[in-house]
Structure 1
Amino acid sequence: MSKKKKTIEELLEETLVSEEKQLYEIPENWIWLSLKNSLNSIQYGYTETSSLQAIGPKFLRITDIQNDKVDWSAVPYCKITEKEFAKYKLEDNDIVVARTGATTGKSYLIDKPPMSVFASYLIRLRCNDIMFPRFLWEFMKSPVYWKQITVVKKGSAQPGANAQILGNLSVPLPPLQEQKRITEKVEGLLGKIEEAKQLIEEAKETFELRRAAILDKAFRGELTKKWRQQNLSVDSAAQRLEMIKKERFQIAETKREVSEIIEMFDELNIVECINNNDWLYIKANMFCYNINCGGTPSKDISEEGEIPFLKVYNIVNNKVDFSYKPQYIPKEVHKSKLKKSMLRPNDVIMNIVGPPLKKIAIIPEEYSEMNMNQAIVRFRPIKYVLPKYLYYCLQYDETLRDVINKTRGVVGQSNISVSQSRNLVMPIPSIEEQAEIVSKLEEMIKREEIVLSLVSDEKNLDELKQSILSKAFRGELGTNDPSEESAIELLKEVLQEQVK
Structure 2
Amino acid sequence: MNNTWPQVPLGDVIIERNQTLSAEEIAAGKIKIISKIGFNTGKIEFRPDHETRTKMIAIYPGDLVLSGINAAKGAIAIYNETEKFLAAATIHYGSYQVIKEKADIRFLWWLLRSNFFREILFKNLPGGIKTELKARRLLPIKIPLPPLAEQQRIVKKIGWLMGKIEEVRGLQVSNLNKSTVFILSFHFGLAQDRKVKMGEIFKLDELRIPVEAAKEYPQVGIKSFGGGLFSKLSIPGTATSYNYFNHLKAGMLVLSQVKGWEGAVAICPNELDGYFASPEYRTFSCKPEKCLPEYIRNIVITSWFAKKLQAATHGVGGRRERVRPEKFLEIEIPMPIVQKQYEAIKIFQSLNEISSIRLKIEKEIEALLPSILDKAFKGEL
TM-score > 0.5, shorter chain as reference = yes
Q: Tell me, yes or no, if the aligned pair for 1:311 and 1:373 is still in contact at 8 Å.
A: no
Compared CA separation, residues 61 and 149, structure 1 to 2 (3 A): farther
Tell me the equivalent position of 2:233.
Answer: 325
**Gap regions ≥5 residues in structure 2:** 51-57
Matched, 1:353 2:258: yes
- Contact 2:59–2:88, Cα closer than 8 Å, also in 1: yes
Residues 348 and 362, structure 1, Cα contact 8 Å, conserved in 2? yes
Q: How does 1:66-465 map to 2 (within 5 A)?
A: 95-98=63-66, 100-103=68-71, 106=76, 108=78, 111=81, 121-125=93-97, 127=99, 131-134=102-105, 139-141=111-113, 145-150=117-122, 151=124, 157-158=129-130, 160-174=132-146, 179-221=147-189, 281-288=195-202, 290-292=203-205, 300=211, 304-305=215-216, 312-313=221-222, 319-321=228-230, 323-327=231-235, 343-354=248-259, 355-362=261-268, 364=270, 367=273, 373-383=279-289, 385-395=291-301, 401-408=307-314, 412-425=319-332, 429=336, 431-451=338-358, 453-454=360-361, 457-465=364-372
- Paired residues of 2:206 and 2:284 also in contact (CA < 8 A): yes
Q: CA deviation at 1:466?
A: 1.7
Could you tell me whether the CA contact under 8 Å between 1:347 and 1:387 is conserved in 2?
yes
Q: Which amino acid aligns with 2:270?
A: P
User: Is 1:469 matched up with 2:376?
Assistant: yes
Q: Which amino acid aligns with 1:353?
A: V
* 1:363 CA drift (Å): 5.0
Alpha-carbon shift at residue 45 of structure 1 (Å): 1.4
Q: Normalized against structure 2, the TM-score is what?
A: 0.69
Distance 2:192 2:10 in 1: 74
Distance 2:290 2:36 in 1: 58
Counterparts of 1:107 and 1:318, CA distance in 2: 28
Shift of 1:459: 2.3
What is the CA RMSD across the aligned residues, in angstroms?
A: 4.8
Amino acid at match of 2:179: R
Describe the shift of the 1:366–1:133 C-alpha distance in structure 2 as closer, same or farther (beyond 3 A): closer
The structure with more radius of gyration: 1
Q: Give the superposition deviation at 1:441.
A: 1.1
Tell me the distance in 2 between the aligned counterparts of 1:124 and 1:286.
60
Please say if residues 218 and 234 of structure 2, whose CA atoms lie closer than 8 Å, have aligned partners that are also in contact.
yes
1-structure distance, mates of 2:345, 2:10? 62
Unaligned 5+ segments in structure 1 are 1-23, 77-87, 223-273, 331-336, 478-500
SS of 1:326 mapped into structure 2:
strand
Describe the SS at the equivalent of 1:325. Answer: strand
Q: Deviations over 1:310-339 (max 9, x none)?
A: 665489966543x30335779xxxxxx979
The number of residues matched between the two structures is 359
TM-score, normalised relative to structure 1: 0.55
Change in Cα spacing, 1:388 to 1:303, as seen in structure 2 (3 Å) is: farther
Question: Counterpart of 1:379 in 2: which secondary structure?
Answer: strand
Q: How far off is 1:443 after superposition? A: 0.8
**Mapped contact 1:343–1:363 kept (Cα < 8 A):** no
1:437, distance to aligned residue in structure 2 (A): 0.6
Is contact 1:303–1:327 with CA below 8 Å preserved after alignment? no
Percentage of identical aligned residues: 13
Distance 1:71 1:309 in 2: 36
More strand by share: 2
Aligned to 1:45: 18
Q: 1:45 to 1:465 in 2, by over 3 A?
A: farther
Q: Is the 8 A contact 1:32 1:173 kept in 2?
A: yes
Q: Check conservation: 1:144, 1:470, Cα contact below 8 A.
A: yes
